[in-house]
Structure 1
Amino acid sequence: MCGILVNSSLDAELKEFENALDGMKHRGPDARGIVKEGGWRLGHTRLKILDLDDRSNQPFMSRDGRYLMVYNGEVYNYRELSAKYDLDCHTSGDTEVLMLLYQKLGVQMLNELNGMFAIVILDRLSGDVFFARDRLGIKPLYYKRSTDGLIVASEISPILSFLDNVEYDYVGLRQYAKLRAFFNGRTAYKGIKMLPAGHYRLNDRLVKYWNLPLGEQQAPSDEELRDLIEKAVRRRCISDVEVGSYLSGGLDSTIVAGLADKPHTWTVGFDGYNEFEWARIAAERFGSQHHEVGIEREEFLSMARKMIGERREPLSVPNEVLLLRMTQEVKKHNTVVLSGEGADELFFGYDRIFRWAAEQKEWDLRAFSAQYSYGLHEDLEVLEDVMAPFVAEGQTPLDIVARFFQIGHLHGLLRRVDNSTMRCSVEARVPFVDHTLVERMAGVSAEFRMKDGEVKAPLKRIFSDVLPDEIIHRRKIGFPVPLEEIFFGRSSDQNGPQRDALDHWLKFNLKCLTGGEMDLADLGI
């Protein structure tokens, strides 16, 4: 929905702040606002989704003048919360509801919100600064605290623009080289942190306000599960602008697109290396105006270089480039798009690794690494650090893997989606990451999720009236990118890139990020 930037540094000139904020114009091209309060500057670039009137522009000030807020995201149950707490709203969007809830409930308001959000609130009376992220980290929030003050932003690039000296975080880059993502609040840069999902920070105190429930839980009935998923999709169709759907032809996006029933759907791929056939089957079933977006092998690397250079971060997986290319076309018709991320984590769609975990008696980090890691290097030290929050006494290997995928692995996918869509001024919404659905599925048995060995058996059974038979029975494949052809000029396997191609992808990202100054060997691996 937006880009936010907050800086308390007394050394930052207004023009410098404006330039940093304008660097996130793609996140919010519809309005820009800056407020100076004491030593603070709060900036916001707005993508208008709810209440298109300028009255909901930000920074948003409370009516009594005490609080200033900048906010990125959508809270889907804002109307219900307004009624529940009898809020006196003068606007029709969710921004004012958030402000009034914070005045009434303080940090406890976070437990009431259903949606995706990154929020910064400054108390002009006490000087307190509060910032928070949604439970699963759908919306990003980075920060850097130093003797010069605090900087908070939706992206890393504006933070870097204020810094004279930039140092790389070698542990963070080792995480990336091993797992294609960053974990436990780390980034590629020393001193720049990502606020962890499900956390808030009040001044210098970091608090975890949400966690995935522990323990076994009885499986939901088919009726309950269908109701949860249908409600999650309906919530994410709340908008004052047009909504569309990605439609790869896979199970997850097909369910979302079918339930949403919106006019426009999109898929993307290379010539001769795509899922167009399956997406057409689904689009014909739904009667949508379907768009097949092509990308040339020659433009893939140039687009990737541009993305890395603008974001100042490496890309997670190669299909991030395809998401960007597809969303460039989405923007011609829609400002909101629905996506199927989260279903694989909920329903053990990564069946090879979940089957492996279910067969293990004891946790074995080295064996997990062989199943999950993407790089050719071992680096068990960094993997042990990444997995530490998920390994608890009394937890089975399946418990550990399920929690890691639901929180750690998913977080990397959510960063991919946000980065690719917001760069095109499009907001992506992910119904399978509705926290009520995630909490209900926590601790449900593998037998329910993969009944009789069938991958995603509950989804196929419950939505048989929505899904075309061809898609129910098709073999699961990833989001195909022919890396072997792009890097080596050899034919690619539709099942996914080989390890040497993935390793080359990692080296390509590090080279682009550091201007050729760093390779895997520089990380000691």
Structure 2
Amino acid sequence: MSATLARLSHRGPDDQHCWVSNQLAIGFVRLAINDESIAGRQPYKAGDLIGAFNGEIYNADELVKHHNLMLNSQCDTHVIAPLFTKLGSQVLAELDGFYSGLIYQPGTHTLYLLRDHMGKKPLFYGRDGNNLFVVSELKALQNIEWFEQVPLGISQLDLTTGKLTQIAVHQPPANTTPSLAVAMEQAVIKRLPKQPFGVFLSGGLDSSIIATLANQHRQDITYFVLGDPDSSDVAMVNRLVKHLGLKQVHYIPLPTEQELPALIAKVLYTTESYNPSIISNGLATYLLAEAAHKEGLKVVLTGEGADELFAGYHEQLSEQEWQSTRTNLITDMRFTELRRLDKCSMAHSIEVRCPFLDRAVKYIADTLEHKKFYLAGRNKVALRNTFGHLLPTEIANRKKTSFDVGSGIRKLVVTYLTRNGNMEIVELKKIWQQTFTHDADNTYFFSYPTFDAAIAKRGETHR
């Protein structure tokens, strides 16, 4: 178990703890944000249950008071197991935040697996040699025979057969906020940590909205921007910096040609993917998270999720096709963009929080009409209409520019990987086969379902 946890130490450098009973071992590496004392460690005991959770529960204090729970720490995720004892599968409706983890009931030898409504934090189950496993990153294990992603909601894993049964799914929240503006402001406020934190800025609509709202409530924010001075992202960020009067803004230069090969290999290992888009965008996230870690931060806010929820990837889709495309992108997120975001930030022990993925915000987005997404050649209409007056006009009207394109990093990656006349994915697969022993043909390792065809034909910039 210690060797397995060592491979995950980047996810939790502050503490490492194991609970063992007969043939079952539960280990955890901890990134301590709330209650940094030993009382907050995991796995933790709650009555006759053992719990272990990666994530953040924003309404933990309210739940403790409302349900009269007795906790032995100030750790927010410690609320999950006692609440499960009291409410069973109804716990999903109560938890406001993001989480993945497990609850073990020793008396009945029952293991429950839980994931939030977006699948923001990774969780897998499978078999490695003679052992069943549940793990957050596959690289922790050496001889995986098979694996699957744990579905969202609550599942029960049979510890004898390895069969997983889903027993509860997430439902839309009962109490929703009437306006998008209020929901987004609340989503940002609840994600502000007690300590100083960062915001990843690209100069696009989404991250600019997050920076604007966060800046209204806190001044101890460090902003991180990737790109050389002549990149389009940096030009837009400079306008926002002047507009809002932002102070602590760190500009991260693009890697040199000499640095690039080793960085691509690191990001491939980090994301467990050889998909070109996950690699080039992952490289951008990886460098920003590295910079945030060097500043001593643990928490960063980003604009992730807005493109999927508010139709940022397409300028115009008909009423017939937009719903299915949107649904597919949201379903894919847990093994495409959220996987890239989580793995590349946690590689540097950074917890990323995403206000656009708030359950109230998502519910509002799910109920919007077609005209709130697309109108007269514009997309993300609801966001532009709601927050445009807070932003410089150029940013409020800026077209979607992929993170890797706007920063300039895609050009570097495409140029390097296609230098021998091969497709990007062919070169990346070679690196993969030198890095992992897993079956490279498993679609989890290379597919981005909605965009695979476009990625295969992509160039250094948008077409």
TM-score, normalised to structure 1's length?
Answer: 0.74
- CA distance, structure 2, for counterparts of residue 226 and residue 503 of structure 1: 47
**Cα distance per residue 1:316-351 (max 9 Å; x no partner):** 241211110111111133210001111112221122
**Cα distance per residue 1:122-178 (max 9 Å; x no partner):** 11111101111111110000111478231111100112x2x2xx5xxxxxxxxxxxx
- CA distance, structure 1, for counterparts of residue 301 and residue 364 of structure 2: 22
Name the residue aligned to 2:341. 417
Unaligned runs of 5+ in 1: 1-16, 167-189, 214-219, 359-395, 490-496
In 2 relative to 1, CA 256–503 (structure 1 residues): closer, same or farther, beyond 3 Å?
farther
1:366-377 superposed matches below 5 A: none
2:173 corresponds to 1:249: no
Q: 1:104 aligns with which of 73, 82, 86?
A: 86
Q: Which amino acid aligns with 1:508?
A: E
1:467-482 superposed matches below 5 A: 467-479=391-403, 480=405, 481-482=408-409
- CA distance, structure 1, for counterparts of residue 134 and residue 200 of structure 2: 31
In 2 relative to 1, CA 273–283 (structure 1 residues): closer, same or farther, beyond 3 Å?
closer
Name the residue aligned to 1:340. 303
Name the residue aligned to 1:321. 283
When structure 1 is superposed on structure 2, of 98-107 and 403-412 the one drifting more is 403-412
**SS of residue paired to 2:423:** helix
In 2 relative to 1, CA 141–46 (structure 1 residues): closer, same or farther, beyond 3 Å?
same
Name the residue aligned to 1:191. 146
2:168 corresponds to 1:209: yes
In 2 relative to 1, CA 312–143 (structure 1 residues): closer, same or farther, beyond 3 Å?
same
After superposition, the CA RMSD in angstroms is 3.0
- CA distance, structure 2, for counterparts of residue 345 and residue 44 of structure 1: 31
- CA distance, structure 2, for counterparts of residue 502 and residue 447 of structure 1: 43
- CA distance, structure 1, for counterparts of residue 343 and residue 311 of structure 2: 25
Name the residue aligned to 2:240. 282
2:250 corresponds to 1:291: yes
In 2 relative to 1, CA 467–200 (structure 1 residues): closer, same or farther, beyond 3 Å?
farther
**SS of residue paired to 1:139:** coil
Q: Which amino acid aligns with 2:237?
A: A
| Contact 2:263–2:283 (8 Å) recurs in 1 | yes
TM-score, normalised to structure 2's length?
Answer: 0.83
**SS of residue paired to 1:116:** strand
Cα drift, residue 409 of structure 1? 4.2
Name the residue aligned to 1:227. 182
- CA distance, structure 2, for counterparts of residue 158 and residue 448 of structure 1: 43
Name the residue aligned to 2:425. 506
In 2 relative to 1, CA 150–229 (structure 1 residues): closer, same or farther, beyond 3 Å?
same
Name the residue aligned to 1:404. 328
Name the residue aligned to 1:384. none
2:8 corresponds to 1:50: no
Q: Which amino acid aligns with 2:434?
A: G
2:58 corresponds to 1:76: yes
| Contact 1:128–1:202 (8 Å) recurs in 2 | yes
- CA distance, structure 1, for counterparts of residue 24 and residue 247 of structure 2: 48
Cα drift, residue 271 of structure 1? 6.2
1:103-252 superposed matches below 5 A: 103-145=85-127, 148-159=130-141, 161=142, 163=143, 191-203=146-158, 204-207=163-166, 209-210=168-169, 224-237=179-192, 239-252=193-206
In 2 relative to 1, CA 211–68 (structure 1 residues): closer, same or farther, beyond 3 Å?
closer
**SS of residue paired to 1:464:** helix
- CA distance, structure 2, for counterparts of residue 235 and residue 103 of structure 1: 26
In 2 relative to 1, CA 519–416 (structure 1 residues): closer, same or farther, beyond 3 Å?
closer
Cα drift, residue 265 of structure 1? 0.7
| Contact 1:345–1:410 (8 Å) recurs in 2 | no
| Contact 1:21–1:45 (8 Å) recurs in 2 | yes
- CA distance, structure 2, for counterparts of residue 208 and residue 293 of structure 1: 45
| Contact 2:100–2:116 (8 Å) recurs in 1 | yes
- CA distance, structure 2, for counterparts of residue 266 and residue 117 of structure 1: 25
Give aligned pairs, total: 423
Of all paired residues, the percent bearing the same amino acid is 26
